[in-house]
Protein backbone atom coordinates (compact mmCIF):
# COMPACT_ATOMS: atom_id res chain seq x y z
CA UNK A 1 0.00 0.00 0.00
CA UNK A 2 1.27 3.45 -0.96
CA UNK A 3 2.43 5.28 2.21
CA UNK A 4 1.91 8.73 0.66
CA UNK A 5 -1.39 10.49 1.43
CA UNK A 6 -3.58 10.58 -1.71
CA UNK A 7 -4.06 14.34 -1.29
CA UNK A 8 -0.32 14.70 -2.00
CA UNK A 9 -0.48 12.81 -5.32
CA UNK A 10 -1.51 14.32 -8.64
CA UNK A 11 -0.96 12.98 -12.14
CA UNK A 12 1.26 15.03 -14.41
CA UNK A 13 0.02 13.23 -17.52
CA UNK A 14 -2.25 10.38 -18.63
CA UNK A 15 0.51 7.93 -19.51
CA UNK A 16 0.55 4.69 -17.55
CA UNK A 17 3.58 3.71 -15.49
CA UNK A 18 6.09 1.90 -17.71
CA UNK A 19 7.17 -1.23 -15.80
CA UNK A 20 9.70 -2.03 -18.58
CA UNK A 21 11.73 1.12 -17.89
CA UNK A 22 15.30 0.86 -16.65
CA UNK A 23 14.82 3.10 -13.59
CA UNK A 24 12.52 5.48 -11.74
CA UNK A 25 13.50 9.12 -12.28
CA UNK A 26 12.92 11.78 -9.64
CA UNK A 27 13.67 15.23 -11.05
CA UNK A 28 14.38 17.42 -8.05
CA UNK A 29 13.28 20.97 -8.89
CA UNK A 30 11.84 23.02 -6.04
CA UNK A 31 12.12 21.11 -2.76
CA UNK A 32 15.79 20.18 -2.98
CA UNK A 33 15.94 17.91 0.03
CA UNK A 34 15.81 14.15 0.52
CA UNK A 35 14.18 14.17 3.96
CA UNK A 36 10.67 15.34 4.84
CA UNK A 37 9.80 15.25 1.14
CA UNK A 38 6.67 13.39 0.00
CA UNK A 39 7.85 13.46 -3.62
CA UNK A 40 11.10 11.67 -2.84
CA UNK A 41 9.21 9.22 -0.61
CA UNK A 42 6.83 8.49 -3.49
CA UNK A 43 9.73 7.94 -5.90
CA UNK A 44 11.37 5.54 -3.42
CA UNK A 45 8.06 3.68 -3.05
CA UNK A 46 7.66 3.37 -6.84
CA UNK A 47 11.25 2.21 -7.31
CA UNK A 48 10.77 -0.52 -4.70
CA UNK A 49 7.36 -1.45 -6.13
CA UNK A 50 8.83 -1.81 -9.64
CA UNK A 51 12.13 -3.28 -8.39
CA UNK A 52 14.05 -0.59 -10.29
CA UNK A 53 16.88 1.73 -9.26
CA UNK A 54 15.94 5.28 -8.32
CA UNK A 55 17.76 8.07 -10.18
CA UNK A 56 17.56 11.50 -8.57
CA UNK A 57 18.37 14.35 -10.96
CA UNK A 58 19.39 17.68 -9.44
CA UNK A 59 20.00 19.94 -12.41
CA UNK A 60 21.77 23.28 -12.25
CA UNK A 61 21.81 25.57 -15.25
CA UNK A 62 24.40 28.32 -15.47
CA UNK A 63 23.18 30.86 -18.00
CA UNK A 64 19.90 32.16 -16.58
CA UNK A 65 19.29 35.83 -15.80
CA UNK A 66 19.77 35.63 -12.00
CA UNK A 67 22.70 33.18 -12.01
CA UNK A 68 25.42 34.05 -9.52
CA UNK A 69 28.32 32.34 -7.78
CA UNK A 70 26.54 32.85 -4.45
CA UNK A 71 23.29 31.08 -5.38
CA UNK A 72 25.17 28.33 -7.22
CA UNK A 73 27.39 27.74 -4.15
CA UNK A 74 24.23 27.41 -2.05
CA UNK A 75 22.71 24.90 -4.51
CA UNK A 76 25.94 22.88 -4.88
CA UNK A 77 26.34 22.71 -1.09
CA UNK A 78 22.77 21.43 -0.88
CA UNK A 79 23.51 18.79 -3.52
CA UNK A 80 26.55 17.62 -1.53
CA UNK A 81 24.43 17.50 1.64
CA UNK A 82 21.78 15.42 -0.17
CA UNK A 83 24.47 13.03 -1.43
CA UNK A 84 25.80 12.55 2.13
CA UNK A 85 22.29 11.87 3.44
CA UNK A 86 21.66 9.34 0.66
CA UNK A 87 24.94 7.56 1.34
CA UNK A 88 23.93 7.19 5.01
CA UNK A 89 20.80 5.45 3.75
CA UNK A 90 22.99 3.04 1.76
CA UNK A 91 22.17 4.80 -1.52
CA UNK A 92 25.07 5.40 -3.86
CA UNK A 93 24.44 8.76 -5.53
CA UNK A 94 25.98 9.42 -8.92
CA UNK A 95 26.92 12.92 -9.98
CA UNK A 96 27.32 14.19 -13.51
CA UNK A 97 28.37 17.84 -13.86
CA UNK A 98 26.71 19.65 -16.73
CA UNK A 99 27.77 23.00 -18.10
CA UNK A 100 24.75 23.81 -20.25
CA UNK A 101 24.48 27.16 -21.96
CA UNK A 102 21.57 29.54 -21.95
CA UNK A 103 18.92 28.62 -24.50
CA UNK A 104 17.27 31.47 -26.35
CA UNK A 105 13.53 31.05 -26.65
CA UNK A 106 11.64 32.58 -29.59
The angle at the Cα of 30, spanning 69 to 104, to the nearest 5 degrees, equals 60
pTM value is: 0.72
Domain ranges of the chain: 23-88
CA distance 38 to 44: 10
For residue 94, which of 36, 25, 10 has the smallest C-alpha distance? 25
Q: 25, 28, 22: which is closest to 82 by C-alpha? A: 28
pLDDT digits (tens, 9 = 90+) for 74-100: 888 988 888 888 877 766 665 555 555
Smallest CA-to-CA distance from 34 within 74, 88, 70, 72 is with 88
pLDDT in tens, 21-69: 998 888 888 888 888 888 888 888 888 899 988 888 888 888 888 888 8
Amino acid sequence: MDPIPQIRISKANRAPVNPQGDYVLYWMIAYRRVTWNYSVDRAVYRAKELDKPLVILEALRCGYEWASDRIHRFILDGMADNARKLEKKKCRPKTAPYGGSRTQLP
